[in-house]
Amino acid sequence: MTSAASRTDPAARPVVTVLVVDDSQVQRRFLRAAIDADPGFRVVGEARTGREAVALVDRLRPSIVLMDLDLPVMNGIEAIERIMAGRPTPIVVYSAYVEGTDVENAAAATAAGAVDIVAKPNPGEHGQYEQYAADLRAKLRVASRARVITHPRGRLRQNGFTANAERIGRTLIRRKPVTDENPLPPVERRHIDPLAKDIPLVVIGASTGGPQALSQLLSELPADFAPAVLVVQHMADGFIEGLAGWLDSMSPLPVSVGQSGKKIMPGEVTIAPSGVNIVVHDRRLRVTCEDPPATQFHVPGIDVTFKSVAQALGSEAIGVLLTGMGRDGAAGMKVLHDCGATTIAQDEESSAVYGMPAAARALNAVDHVLPLSDITATLLTLVSHENTEANEEVGA
């Protein structure tokens, strides 16, 4: 049982050990200073190349790896694949948000097994060093709690099965079990029947571990899936376009980044853009992108979008909350639930971080708690009269 003191006293937390991987000595020095500034963290090693990173993970067994992708000898993508194939360890990618290959490689890193992406600070942001360092450490602590299991892609590639390796773009993630003196309330599932009314929109929120979860969920949707799908994914500024392109390459539905003043279309997936909240205004699915208040921590905000969907569509929507840190999305899912919309939360076992789904459960905002592998089948049942076989299986 976790004591109350260990949950509230930072000094009682286990130290997060970090391996820093960057070929720039300046960047490694900057990261070491930012991480070691908190006694709850310790940089246990530095690597300059991908090959060194693989060797040091095996020898030092850090809690987490913070890795640049542009590395000599062995690039970051291959290093991630080899680490996940040999000694699975949570990995956070540290990358410049510039146009071109870095954005694309950051998305590829999530396919190889990275848990999260953080952006390198711009030169003009060094005056905000303390805030940047605090945000970095918060991400590392959350990501370090994710238990990743062996990702076969690196092992397949080493053995010469390149084609098979390229098809495997997802890492199975398990969060370490966390005890709690106040267990979450049980969920009484609504009976799942094909709905008589049309469902024009499925809205999905995700954070840490979300890209992998989204890749699995969206790749399993059929090309004739009728509703529009709106995704709000917490991600560092500049990487949403790369995420959308990566998801588009594996989803039967077209995937694009939303634009203010435009409608989101049936049978298409729209990703909320960086730096703004996306708001749904009516049943025609017209959206606007709005600046967040200064006090909003996560941008884009899942709560903002969920609440707007509840107001615009009421019960004619489905809300899905996937893996992620914090509580964003929980209050919005409660509003969706209370207006009659069907709500689904990813279960703890298949979540990288069970923060957001757990927060929604605590508010009694969830109709169905499901493993990631069951969510797509449930969505098909909820929006289709013809999927009777899936209905019987889920409703059993």
Active site residues: 207, 234, 328
In Å, how far are 12, 255, 322, 337, 356 from 330, measured between CA atoms?
28, 25, 11, 10, 6
* Closest to 199 in 3D by CA, of 266, 257, 264: 266
CB proximity list for 75: less than 8 A, separation 6 or greater:
50, 69
| Sheet of 368-370, strand order | 255-257, 269-271, 228-233, 201-206, 317-321, 342-346, 368-370
In Å, how far are 145, 300, 320 from 131, measured between CA atoms?
22, 19, 31
Block residue for tokens 């067994």: 61
DSSP string, 238-287: T-HHHHHHHHHHH-SS-EEE--TTPBPPTT-EEEPPTTSEEEE-STT-BE
Helix (H) or strand (E) holding 361: helix 355-362
DSSP string, 77-124: HHHHHHHHHHS---EEEEE---TTHHHHHHHHHHHHT--EEEEPPPGG
Q: How far apart are alpha carbons 218 and 215 in whole angstroms?
A: 5
